[in-house]
Amino acid sequence: MSIESRLKALGISLPEPAAPVAAYVPVVVHNGLAHVSGQLPFVNGVLVTGRLGEGVTVEEGIDAAQACALMILAQVRAAVGSLDKVQQVVKLGGFVNSTGDFTDQPLVINGASQLMKDVFGDKGAHARSAVGVPTLPLGAAVEVDAIIAVSES
Instruction: Identify the H or E element spanning 146.
Output: strand 142-150
55-85 pLDDT, tens digit per residue, is 999 999 999 999 999 999 999 999 999 999 9
Q: For 11-39, b where at least 16 C-beta lie within 10 A, e where not — what string?
A: eeebbebbeeeeeeebbebeeebbbbbbb
Series of mean pLDDT values for 10-residue runs along the chain (153 residues): 94 94 95 98 94 97 98 98 98 98 98 98 98 97 98 83
- CATH 3.30.1330.40 assigned to 27-150: yes
* pLDDT score recorded for residue 40: 97
Please tell me the distance from the alpha carbon of residue 73 to that of residue 71, in angstroms, as a whole number. Answer: 5
CA-closest candidate to residue 48, choices 89, 7, 104, 108: 108
* pLDDT score recorded for residue 1: 84
Average predicted confidence (pLDDT) for the chain: 96
